[in-house]
Structure 1
Amino acid sequence: MAINSAAWLTEAKARPFQVKEAPIYTPEAGEILVKNHAVAINPVDGSLQAKAWWPMNYPTILGQDVAGEVVAVGPNVTRFKIGDRVVGHAVGIATKRLQDNAFQSHTILQINMASELPASVSYENAAVLPLALSTAACGLFQDDFLKLQLPTEPRRSTSQALLIWGGAGSVGSNAIQLGVAAGYEVFTTASPKNFEYVKKLGASQVFDYSSITVVEDLTKALQGKVLAGAMDTIGFAATPPTVDVVIKSEGSKLVSTVKGGFQAPEGVTVKSVFGTSLKDNHVGKAVWENFLPRALEAGTYIPAPSPLLAGKGLDKVQDAIDLQAKGASAKKVVVTL
């Protein structure tokens, strides 16, 4: 019988996490149980610990990014078998079930939020993907957001352009690749030190977000092109210039953003993304089941950004969250288990 342990958040704003025994879970229909080999840290993890802004029942477990090995499958699950290597998005923040969180040795994943993982991709590299991939997919493909054509492997092309503001971050790295895989010409912003990085991910043109002429430069580059929409992967100060480019360009006037609260001017719609919502619609399966396994196997989708290893074991989760809070440009903090 497997034994489970977790990095517990014992009460609101508690610090540090306490590593203790946790229940061992049984997967239900449409679920798999994964023995985690690597988990990644997202900014939301530190925010939830420090500020307790999301309603949670304590003690609780955090974390959304897992990569590991299938150790049990639910009734009628045929896509996965015991021993399969997988990467997946743990959606406990939405379901409020302990078994659906990442910072433990075993996690339940929905099969429409998990991908087979080829031997060519390590667990620590794969773990950087889930929440950032899902967030980008929500903003790009959901019906009430940009509603772009879905990504495919092999790729197909469109004649339209896509703006991704903040291409070097976790969400931006995935948004660029998903946009390219869906057939769009991607224009993005980054700091000059990350220009080559975002071009490697598939961006057609990249612009310095700190330049005083960045809006003018992007608008000029987009002349003669039809914009399918824009995704602001940074929020706050990044939203106004994203909106400005959209206003001055031909095409869609919709901006997906990772942060809410922006009052858009007339004629433009700005909508904030919740990165787990694709679990309940066609986008989850389209990305996690139909696209990602093939793209990872073909080597056309790069797990990005690169992992920054914070140590091994659940007792390193607090150190990892603290490390993430200090900032890691073009890197994502990962703990191996």
Structure 2
Amino acid sequence: MASKHLAAVLPQQGGPFVVQPCPTLDPGPGELLIEAKAIAVNPVDYSQRDKGFPPIPSYPTVIGSDVAGVVVKTGPDVPGSAPKPGTRVTAFASSFFKGGLAQYGGFQQLVLASHEGVVPLPDSISFEEGAIFPLAVLAALSGFTTIDVPLDTRYAPGDKKAILIWGGASSVGTIAIQFARQLGFTVYATASEKNLRYLESLGVHRVFDYRAEDVVRQIVAAVKQDGVILTDAQCAAGDSLQSVLDVLRDTKGDSQGMVGHAPPLLPGAPSLDGVEVRFSMPPMDPAARAQHISEAFQGWLASGLAAGTVVPSPRVEIVDGGLEGLNSALDTLKQGVSATKLVVRV
């Protein structure tokens, strides 16, 4: 194995990334070394590059979370069920939970990842498609546990439980839709007009154009017509909380409402009596977080990929340039994309 590999290094806050050699380290206990074949980008990546938020302990470093590739080597104490060397995988590889250490950032040719977040990738799914899963799965499923919906929840049709996912065409939104359906929720979602049919293809019960002036009225009327119980919601898009609260005001009745909010809540954010809004995030305790990631990846994602019940979403758009293309990919993402996940090939 080579002693060095190329990485897109972030030298200081504000970037840009500089592609340069970095040392290749052996995997430690419970870790796998992954040779990246494709890397996806997320809004948190340009936030870290440009603003240093979430906080980066020290520079230079390597960031990024979404990787698909091939297992090169496994470390000690890796479970026997973990993917073996040579296995195609999708991997959550984030330095954020590893003290900012560069070897755990996803934007490089060889990356270390904890076994809990590494899942075999079926041959029917390309590396580019596989790269779009990791952070979206963690964020989407954390949105449910944040509002006290355990990952092993299973509702029956007679329970008539519904959920609203605002921003359904985002990567987090599309995964949240797939997960919510498997929990037994009747799913209502919003998107732009051009993405309505796409969300229907993912199994959304009813989807609404969020730009419609009367979108809140439309959702409330549909919920009442369907006779379901809507007390829970996920905000997967910024500036949508007030609309979500307006819906829940008329659908939750006397029940407690719960909202998982993906962007961090800002001071002065909207609120509503009887509805608790929480920032969607995984547990911060390392042991609890590892268990949560294992349930999300080894449980839901691995079984869903193997059975074909989880599909890559949204659509992939390739950005040219490999590691050198990551700056361009983040600049494009920052300008805004719709129902699209940007991916670079390594």
State the TM-score, normalizing by the size of structure 1: 0.92
Check whether the contact 1:177–1:301 (CA below 8 A) recurs between aligned residues. Answer: yes
Percent of paired sites with the same residue: 33
User: Which residue of structure 2 aligns with residue 87 of structure 1?
Assistant: 90
Alignment of structure 1 residues 17-32 onto 2, 5 Å: 17-32=17-32
Mapped partners of 1:258, 1:108: distance in 2? 26
Mapped partners of 1:69, 1:116: distance in 2? 9
AA matched with 1:316 = G
Q: Secondary structure of the residue that 1:308 maps to in structure 2?
A: strand
User: Which residue of structure 1 aligns with residue 206 of structure 2?
Assistant: 205
User: Which residue of structure 1 aligns with residue 117 of structure 2?
Assistant: 113
Alignment match of 1:137 (pick from 128, 137, 141) = 141
User: Which residue of structure 2 aligns with residue 220 of structure 1?
Assistant: 221
AA matched with 1:291 = W
AA matched with 1:309 = I
Alignment of structure 1 residues 113-262 onto 2, 5 Å: 113-140=117-144, 142=145, 144-150=146-152, 159-223=160-224, 224-227=227-230, 229-235=232-238, 237-250=239-252, 251-259=255-263, 260-261=265-266, 262=269
Mapped partners of 2:230, 2:25: distance in 1? 46
1:157-211 CA distances to partner (integer Å, 9 max, x unpaired)?
A: 6531111011111111111011112121110011111111011111110011111
User: Which residue of structure 1 aligns with residue 336 of structure 2?
Assistant: 327
Of stretches 216-225 and 274-283 in structure 1, the one that deviates more from structure 2 is 274-283
Q: Secondary structure of the residue that 1:61 maps to in structure 2?
A: coil
Q: Secondary structure of the residue that 2:319 maps to in structure 1?
A: strand
State the number of aligned residues: 331
1:277-322 CA distances to partner (integer Å, 9 max, x unpaired)?
A: 5971543112200121221122221111111100142111112112
Unaligned runs of 5+ in 1: none
Mapped partners of 2:262, 2:229: distance in 1? 23
Check whether the contact 2:129–2:312 (CA below 8 A) recurs between aligned residues. Answer: yes
Mapped partners of 2:335, 2:127: distance in 1? 24
Alignment of structure 1 residues 16-95 onto 2, 5 Å: 17-56=17-56, 57-77=58-78, 78=80, 79-95=82-98
Check whether the contact 1:151–1:287 (CA below 8 A) recurs between aligned residues. Answer: no
Unaligned runs of 5+ in 2: none
Deviation at 1:147, TM superposition (A): 1.6
Deviation at 1:55, TM superposition (A): 2.6
Deviation at 1:54, TM superposition (A): 3.2
Mapped partners of 1:55, 1:148: distance in 2? 29
RMSD: 2.0
Deviation at 1:227, TM superposition (A): 2.3
